[in-house]
Amino acid sequence: MTTERIVPIEEEPRHFLRFQNRHVRLFDVHLPPGYRGLYHTHLHDGVFVNVEASETVATDFGGEPVVRGPRQLGETYFFNYAKAPRIHRVDNTGDTPFRVVDTEIHEGCGRSGPFEDDGRPLILENERVRVTRLLLEPGRSARLAPTCGMLVAVTGGRLELRSPGAVEVVSLAPAGFNWRDSFAAVEVANAGEAFHGVDIVVK
């Protein structure tokens, strides 16, 4: 039986807490080649967006190592850790960095009712979140649904975010993000090169 210590996710050295409020916490998980992770806890539901790919080995506490091949850039998935908490470690066994953005879901935003069909690829939807893929060519725009949500950048880009009475210009690097809290839809326009992002609406 392993005697290695277990730490909260925020104390794992390569899980960088970049943003938090009462609805979400966002971690930028960046494992360099050869990194051997610490066992850490996952207690909250999470949406994971892959930004850099590498071979990894994941080991649940008390379990056997599982070899994982490189994931696709932009691959996105949901773990229901609130109902099934997990303790594990992840090692980067590849030759390139491994990077994933983990948006933990805490308190909901009170979203109710159906969503408009925005024509974007729906990645997943459940009682906690609705997650779509945002692919914008230069000069194109789209609407981001209310009431609150997290836009995660897979590729970098320069965006104009337009809400009633306000325009915000943001430049996002890969793994960058933008949180919104608005009762009205936000229009996002691409003011730079082709942009790939994942939009997470918190229900």
Q: How many whole angstroms from its chain centre is CA 87?
A: 19
Is 140 in the same domain as 100? no
Whether 56 maps to a domain, the answer reads yes
Range of the domain at 181: 122-202
CATH number of residue 171's parent domain? 2.60.120.10
In the block, residue with structure tokens 């979140």: 129
Q: What is the mean pLDDT of residues 11-18?
A: 98
pLDDT digits (tens, 9 = 90+) for 21-57: 999 999 999 999 999 999 999 999 999 999 999 999 9
Q: Say if residues 174 and 155 touch (Cβ distance below 8 Å).
A: yes
Kindly state whether residues 93 and 132 are assigned to the same domain: no
Tokens of 144: 């981001």
Residue 1 placed within a domain = no
Looking at the chain, the whole-number percentage of residues with pLDDT higher than 90 is: 87
Name which of 106, 202, 107, 103 is nearest 147 in CA terms: 202
Long-range Cβ pairs for the range 14-21 (8 Å, 24+):
15/40, 15/102, 18/177, 19/177, 19/179, 21/179
In a domain, 135, yes or no: yes
β 186-190/157-163 pair status: antiparallel
Decide if 28 contacts 175 (C-beta within 8 A).
yes
Tell me the two tokens of residue 19.
């943003």
CB 15 within 8 A of CB 9: yes
In 3-state terms, what secondary structure has residue 11?
Answer: helix
Is residue 114 domain-resident? no
Q: Residue 152: inside a domain, yes or no?
A: yes
Confidence of residue 114 (pLDDT cuts 50, 70, 90): confident
- Would the pTM count as exceeding 0.85? yes
